[in-house]
Chains A and B, each alone.
Chain A
Amino acid sequence: MAMRMWASSTANALKLSTAIRPHFSPAFSLSRCFSTVLEGFKYANSHEWVKHEGPVAAVGITDHAQDHLGEVVFVELPDAGSVVSQGKSFGNVESVKATSDVNSPISGEVVEVNSKLSETPGLINSSPYEDGWMIKVKPSNPSELESLMGSKEYTKFCEEEGGH
Chain B
Amino acid sequence: MRVLTRSLEVWRLGVLNYLEALKLQEKLVSDRKGGKITDTLLSLQHPPTYTLGKRQIVHNLLVSESQLKSMGAELHYTQRGGDITYHGPHQAILYPIISLRDIGFGARKYVETLELTMIELASLHGVKARAGESGETGVWVGERKIGAIGVRISSGITSHGLAFNIDPDLSYFEHIVPCGITDKEVTSLKREVDSELPAEELIHEQLISCFVRLFGYNNVIWKDNPSLCDQQS
Count how many chain B residues have C-beta atoms less than 8 Å from C-beta atoms of the other chain: 29
Contact yes or no, A101 B155, CB < 8 A:
yes
Binds A, one of B66-74, B75-83, B192-200: B75-83
Chain B residues in 8 Å Cβ range of A73: 135
Contact yes or no, A98 B155, CB < 8 A:
no
Partner of A101, one of B101, B150, B154: B154
Task: Determine the residue in chain B with the shortest Cβ distance to A158.
Answer: B104
Task: Determine the residue in chain A with the shortest Cβ distance to B83.
Answer: A97
Partner of B152, one of A46, A98, A161: A98
Q: A68-B107, A70-B108, A99-B79 are in contact. List 10 more A-B contacts (CB 8 A).
A: A68-B105, A68-B109, A69-B106, A69-B107, A74-B54, A95-B81, A96-B81, A97-B150, A97-B151, A100-B81
**A-B CB contact pairs (8 Å), 22 listed:** A46-B155, A68-B107, A68-B109, A71-B134, A71-B135, A89-B155, A94-B81, A95-B81, A96-B108, A97-B53, A97-B138, A97-B151, A98-B152, A99-B53, A99-B54, A99-B79, A99-B153, A100-B81, A100-B152, A100-B153, A101-B154, A103-B155
Q: Give A97 to B53 CA distance when docked, in angstroms.
A: 9
Q: Which A114-164 residues have C-beta < 8 A from chain B?
A: 161-164
Nearest Cβ on chain A to B111's Cβ, whole angstroms: 5
Chain B residues in 8 Å Cβ range of A101: 153-155
Chain B residues in 8 Å Cβ range of A46: 155-156
Chain B residues in 8 Å Cβ range of A74: 54-55
* A67 in the interface (beta carbon within 8 A): yes
* A92 in the interface (beta carbon within 8 A): yes
Q: Which A57-98 residues have C-beta < 8 A from chain B?
A: 65, 67-71, 73-74, 76, 89, 92, 94-98
* B137 in the interface (beta carbon within 8 A): yes
Chain B residues in 8 Å Cβ range of A68: 105-109
Task: State the 8 A-B residue pairs at the shortest beta-carbon distance, nearest first.
Answer: A68-B106, A70-B108, A97-B82, A98-B107, A99-B81, A100-B153, A97-B137, A101-B154
Task: Determine the residue in chain A with the shortest Cβ distance to B103.
Answer: A164
Nearest Cβ on chain A to B13's Cβ, whole angstroms: 23
Chain A residues in 8 Å Cβ range of B135: 71, 73
Chain A residues in 8 Å Cβ range of B137: 96-97
* B173 in the interface (beta carbon within 8 A): no
Nearest Cβ on chain A to B167's Cβ, whole angstroms: 23
Q: Give A74 to B54 CA distance when docked, in angstroms.
A: 10
Q: Give A85 to B155 CA distance when docked, in angstroms.
A: 14
Q: Give A22 to B105 CA distance when docked, in angstroms.
A: 26
Nearest Cβ on chain B to A54's Cβ, whole angstroms: 30
Chain B residues in 8 Å Cβ range of A69: 106-108
* B217 in the interface (beta carbon within 8 A): no
Q: Give A65 to B111 CA distance when docked, in angstroms.
A: 15
Task: Determine the residue in chain B with the shortest Cβ distance to A101.
Answer: B154
Q: Which B85-140 residues have C-beta < 8 A from chain A?
A: 101, 103-111, 134-135, 137-138
* B149 in the interface (beta carbon within 8 A): yes
Contact yes or no, A95 B134, CB < 8 A:
no
- Which of A71, A74, A89, A99: most chain B CB closer than 10 A? A99
Contact yes or no, A162 B80, CB < 8 A:
no
Nearest Cβ on chain B to A76's Cβ, whole angstroms: 7
- Which of B54, B110, B153: most chain A CB closer than 10 A? B153
Q: Give A89 to B153 CA distance when docked, in angstroms.
A: 11
Q: Give A71 to B135 CA distance when docked, in angstroms.
A: 9
Given A76-B54, A94-B55, A161-B101; A99-B106 close (CB under 8 Å):
no
Interface string of A16-33 (1 = CB under 8 A from B): 000000000000000000
